[in-house]
Amino acid sequence: MIRDIVRWPDPVLAQPCAPIEEVTKTVQTLAQDMLDTMYDAPGRGLAAPQIGISQRMFVMDVAWKDGPAEPVVCINPEITWRSETQVQSGEGCLSIPGLLVDVVRSAEVDLSWTDQNGVSHTSRFDGFASLCIQHETDHLDGIVTLDRVDAGTRDALIAEYEALSK
Ligand code: ZN
């Protein structure tokens, strides 16, 4: 089921999310709804607070826009390592539509997570997947791209965003 996407500055986007205690049917349904909503948007990543649910889960599919879908559901994800090498890129966000924000992030990360079947995984990611993971994990900590730039840049971007929303 496609859910409504919450837009910044909704307070749910600034709130740290609670861990998910158990992968129940409700959690599995939520994961499927998040994938449906992400594909519909269309996007390549979506975190639970973006549909108003303050729980530690995100979904991503970095492949589907260029080939077959590869949906990944990350429950209680934890970044356990970040490379010292950093990259800067313009990041969009489904909750801040129309705005690209230049964010500096680690080029590679290690991620541990539980999937929708309750199976634990650990893997290293690079390229777009690494940036997407850091972006979505930020959402679970109540952080958006606008919180990753200096105050002057942030003010200019917010003015741009407000002009777009008029
Ligand atoms: Zn986002």
Query: Tokens 């290690």 sit at which residue?
Result: 110
Query: How far is C-alpha 146 from the geometric centre of its chain's CA atoms?
Result: 14
Going from the Cα of 27 to the center of ligand 1, the distance in angstroms, rounded, reads 20
Residues annotated as catalytic are 136
2: left (phi over 0), alpha (psi -120 to 50) or beta: beta
CB 50, CB 139: distance < 8 Å: yes
Does the pTM surpass 0.85? The reply is yes
Going from the Cα of 11 to the center of ligand 1, the distance in angstroms, rounded, reads 14
Going from the Cα of 119 to the center of ligand 1, the distance in angstroms, rounded, reads 25
Q: Tell me, what's the pLDDT at 54?
A: 98
Q: Tell me, what's the pLDDT at 166?
A: 76
CB 51, CB 5: distance < 8 Å: yes
pLDDT digits (tens, 9 = 90+) for 91-128: 999 999 999 999 999 999 999 999 999 999 999 999 99
Query: Tokens 């991620």 sit at which residue?
Result: 111
Bridge-based pairing of strands 109-114 and 120-125 is antiparallel
Q: Which residues does the chain have with pLDDT short of 50?
A: none
Q: Tell me, what's the pLDDT at 65?
A: 85
Going from the Cα of 46 to the center of ligand 1, the distance in angstroms, rounded, reads 7
Q: Tell me, what's the pLDDT at 114?
A: 98
Q: Tell me, what's the pLDDT at 49?
A: 98
Going from the Cα of 133 to the center of ligand 1, the distance in angstroms, rounded, reads 10
10 Å CB burial of residue 19 (0-12, 13-18, 19+) is exposed
DSSP string, 104-135: EEES-EEEEEE-TTS-EEEEEE-HHHHHHHHH
How far is 93 from 104, CA to CA, in rounded Å? 15
Q: What are the two backbone dihedrals, phi and then psi, of residue 87, each rounded to the nearest 5 degrees?
A: -135, 155
How far is 136 from 30, CA to CA, in rounded Å? 16
Among 61, 60, 40, CA closest to 48: 60
